[in-house]
């Protein structure tokens, strides 16, 4: 008997609600489509289930022959052969079960691999807006629990239904063949067996869903607090006791629901065992009564065989009584997987997209208007958490009629008040967003007509808070170019003014930087990200406030590294430092999404407009 109570589910109604739902044939067809590569093995899996069920029906018949034949006839040779038969059946069942398990595991694990890879690839093609709205823990749950649940639906639930159906069919046929009257009496108790199975089973399903929800809450607390930034916040505010209390409350609820599940499961097991014992006792009572009454067509061995068959009949029958609910429940995981896979990808290669080869770095904003589109197209409510706001309206205009041409090798600085649209404008170049109206062009090609991979190769970005993976410095650098040699790493590190710092570390380039690079200072992370961009060797560089929060010494080193990075490349720089702005070939001042002013540092200061005010009040001096 296979149990599926541990399968991850999304919160939904009880079993009655599941029964009221029709079988979603679209989900079922898609699930079966994913199993296409494994259909031969699935057929073999079902064949082994049939074989195991048929062979498992033999032992009671052999025992019947021992009691009714070999022992009364004092036939030792027959007794030995029946003994060999019982051992042989056991060996066959063992071998078949091993083969069945291998097929089940191989199909299941390969399906998990396919589903996880498919989900992982699809998630990485989603726009940045998707990640800003999505809870990371919920997304990881889809990649883990729901994928495993989908696998269990195929090899667990479906296999269990087939196994139970075949087992019940064979057992009933043999029982009716042996003695139809005793079989009818045994089957008449079936309602007493099914009722507790269905009632308590629904309770177990509800408790299972509640338990998974509580576990998810507890895991979310751990994920957020065990992150470096979360742990630092807890320590800075001295909230350790409060955090422990909060975690204890959630863990206590998980423990309480676990006790309820255990006791409810035990109650179900006990009630089913009681009814099964009653059925077995009735078989022996009625069968024995018939034997004592000298019934010519029933013998002691037959009664014993019927008693054995009853013990292997009621379990599968109880499982089949909830087969529809089990199937509906199992398909929920597939639904949750498909929910993510079906999310539209607003930014992807056009069917006729071309490669950008040998980019020279001309960037043109041709009357660009931009606003964030309605969220309904690129988000999933169930991934955003219970307190998320689900407005589907597009934002106000972020950028308004931006017309700007940047010559190859030129440096353009973007300045403006917070919220003026600087970061949004720069994000259009690597195509993190698509324009609402107008066009962004690289070397005269609309970025929407170019492949995403070639645009990514042509554009390098150094952000204010560069991200580093929890891996070695060398691995983080080679993320830009996996085939880079050790000499290449040293070359770019020297250019980024970070080599001496790396060389002084005990493990050098093999030093693990920690989650998000927390083992390095802000300036060191920034210079490492600059080295990574240098290794990429792009024609266009976007600097998003790369020196905004650095101390004077770090800024000096980063500025020196940036000069190396920007040499000979087109650069779009969001600047908070006058030292960066002064060197720009052109300064573009944004105000409420429009270009308010443009010119050189000297020209704009002389004009006495918004730039002069920003230079006086917001732009930070060289120090």
Give the per-residue pLDDT at 9. Answer: 36
Domain end position, chosen among 177, 202, 231: 177
Q: Which two tokens stand for residue 609?
A: 């407009």
Q: State the DSSP code for 145.
A: I
CATH of the domain at 153: 1.20.1560.10
CA distance 540 to 442: 9
pLDDT in tens, 559-606: 777 777 778 889 999 877 777 788 889 999 999 999 999 999 999 999
What mean pLDDT, rounded, does the chain reach? 80
Give a yes or no: residue 8 inside a domain. Answer: no
Give the per-residue pLDDT at 426. Answer: 92
Mean pLDDT, the chain cut into blocks of 10 residues (623 residues total): 36 45 67 81 87 88 87 86 91 91 84 82 77 68 72 73 85 87 81 71 72 73 72 72 83 86 78 78 84 73 86 76 67 77 81 92 94 65 55 76 94 90 92 92 94 91 82 90 92 88 90 77 84 90 71 68 79 80 89 93 90 78 43
CATH of the domain at 564: 3.40.50.300
Whole-angstrom CA distances from 160 to 52, 205, 320, 333, 345 are: 13, 17, 9, 17, 37
Give the per-residue pLDDT at 96. Answer: 92
Give a yes or no: residue 135 inside a domain. Answer: yes
Give a yes or no: residue 3 inside a domain. Answer: no
Tell me if 604 sits within 8 A of 580, measured CB to CB: no
Tell me if 291 sits within 8 A of 303, measured CB to CB: yes
Give a yes or no: residue 52 inside a domain. Answer: yes
CA distance 131 to 145: 20
Name the nearest CA neighbour of 547 among 602, 431, 466, 478: 466
Give the per-residue pLDDT at 5. Answer: 36
Give a yes or no: residue 354 inside a domain. Answer: no
Give the per-residue pLDDT at 87. Answer: 93
CB count within 10 Å of CB 459 equals 27
For helices 240-292 and 180-188, the axis angle rounded to 10 degrees is 150
Q: Domain count of the chain?
A: 2
Name the nearest CA neighbour of 64 among 297, 304, 275: 304
Whole-angstrom CA distances from 399 to 368, 374, 423, 592 are: 7, 16, 11, 8
- The percent helix, strand, coil of the chain (3-state, each to 5) is 65, 10, 25
Give the per-residue pLDDT at 18. Answer: 47
Whole-angstrom CA distances from 129 to 134, 143, 500 are: 9, 19, 38
CA distance 497 to 494: 5
Give a yes or no: residue 195 inside a domain. Answer: no
Please give the residue range of the domain that contains residue 565: 409-428+459-617
Name the nearest CA neighbour of 154 among 375, 363, 4, 313: 4
Give the per-residue pLDDT at 320. Answer: 75
CA distance 5 to 209: 9
The H or E element that residue 595 is part of is: strand 594-599
Give the per-residue pLDDT at 293. Answer: 75
User: What's the pTM value of the predicted model, to 2 decimals?
Assistant: 0.68
Give a yes or no: residue 70 inside a domain. Answer: yes
Give the per-residue pLDDT at 621. Answer: 52
Domain end position, chosen among 177, 200, 219: 177
pLDDT in tens, 322-354: 666 667 766 777 777 787 777 777 788 889 999
The sheet that has 594-599: what strands, in order across it?
A: 459-462, 540-544, 570-574, 411-416, 586-591, 594-599
Domain end position, chosen among 177, 201, 233: 177
Give a yes or no: residue 477 inside a domain. Answer: yes
């Amino acid at each position: 008997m296979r149990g599926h109570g541990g399968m991850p589910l999304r919160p939904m109604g009880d079993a009655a609600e599941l029964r009221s739902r029709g079988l979603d044939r679209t989900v079922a067809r898609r699930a079966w489509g994913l199993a296409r590569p494994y259909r031969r093995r699935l057929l073999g899996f079902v064949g082994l289930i049939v074989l195991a069920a048929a062979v498992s029906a033999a032992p009671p018949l052999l025992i019947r022959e021992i009691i009714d034949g070999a022992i009364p006839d004092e036939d030792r040779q027959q007794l030995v052969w029946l003994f060999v038969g019982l051992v042989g059946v056991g060996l066959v069942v063992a071998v078949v079960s091993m083969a069945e398990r291998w097929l089940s595991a191989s199909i299941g694990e390969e399906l998990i691999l396919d589903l996880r890879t498919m989900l992982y690839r699809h998630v990485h093609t989603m726009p940045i807006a998707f990640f800003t709205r999505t809870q990371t823990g919920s997304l990881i749950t889809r990649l883990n629990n729901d994928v495993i649940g989908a696998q269990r639906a195929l090899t667990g639930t479906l296999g269990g239904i087939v196994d139970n159906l075949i087992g019940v069919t064979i057992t009933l046929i043999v029982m009716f063949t042996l003695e139809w009257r005793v079989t009818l009496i045994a089957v008449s108790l079936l309602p007493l067996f099914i009722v507790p199975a269905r009632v308590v089973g629904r309770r177990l399903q509800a408790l299972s869903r509640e338990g998974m929800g509580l576990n998810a809450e507890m895991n979310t607390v751990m994920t957020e607090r065990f992150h470096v930034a979360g742990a630092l916040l807890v320590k800075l505010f001295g909230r350790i006791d409060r955090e422990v209390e909060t975690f204890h409350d959630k863990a206590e609820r998980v423990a309480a629901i676990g006790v309820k599940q255990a006791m409810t499961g035990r109650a179900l097991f006990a009630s089913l065992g009681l009814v099964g014992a009653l059925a077995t006792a009735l078989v022996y009572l009625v069968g024995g009564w018939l034997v004592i009454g000298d019934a010519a067509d029933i013998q002691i061995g037959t009664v014993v065989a019927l008693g054995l068959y009853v013990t292997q009949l009621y379990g599968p029958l109880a499982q089949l009584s909830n087969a529809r609910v089990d199937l509906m429940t199992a398909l929920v995981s597939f639904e949750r997987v498909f929910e993510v896979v079906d999310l539209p990808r607003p930014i992807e290669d056009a069917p006729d997209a071309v490669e950008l080869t040998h980019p020279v770095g001309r960037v043109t904003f041709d009357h660009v208007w931009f606003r964030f589109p309605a969220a309904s197209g690129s988000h999933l409510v169930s991934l955003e958490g219970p307190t998320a706001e689900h407005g589907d309206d597009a934002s106000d205009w972020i950028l308004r009629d931006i017309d700007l041409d940047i010559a190859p090798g030129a440096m353009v600085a973007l300045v403006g008040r917070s919220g003026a649209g600087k970061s949004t404008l720069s994000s259009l170049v690597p195509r993190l967003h698509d324009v609402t109206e107008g066009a962004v062009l690289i070397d005269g090609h609309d970025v929407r007509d170019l492949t995403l991979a070639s645009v990514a190769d042509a554009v390098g970005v150094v952000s204010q808070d560069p991200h580093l993976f929890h891996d070695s410095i060398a691995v983080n650098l080679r993320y830009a170019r996996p085939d880079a040699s050790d000499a290449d790493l040293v070359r770019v590190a020297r250019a980024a003014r970070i080599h001496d710092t790396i060389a002084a570390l005990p493990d050098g380039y093999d030093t693990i930087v920690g989650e998000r690079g927390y083992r390095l200072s802000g300036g060191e992370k920034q210079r490492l990200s600059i080295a990574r961009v240098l290794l990429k060797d792009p024609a266009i560089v976007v600097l998003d406030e790369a020196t905004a929060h650095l101390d004077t010494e770090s800024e000096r080193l980063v500025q020196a590294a940036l000069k190396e990075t920007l040499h000979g490349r087109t650069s779009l720089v969001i600047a908070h430092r006058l030292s960066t702005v002064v060197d720009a070939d052109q300064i573009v001042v944004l105000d409420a999404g429009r270009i308010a002013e443009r010119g050189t540092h000297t020209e704009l200061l002389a004009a006495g407009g918004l730039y002069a005010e920003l230079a006086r009040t917001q732009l930070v001096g060289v120090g």
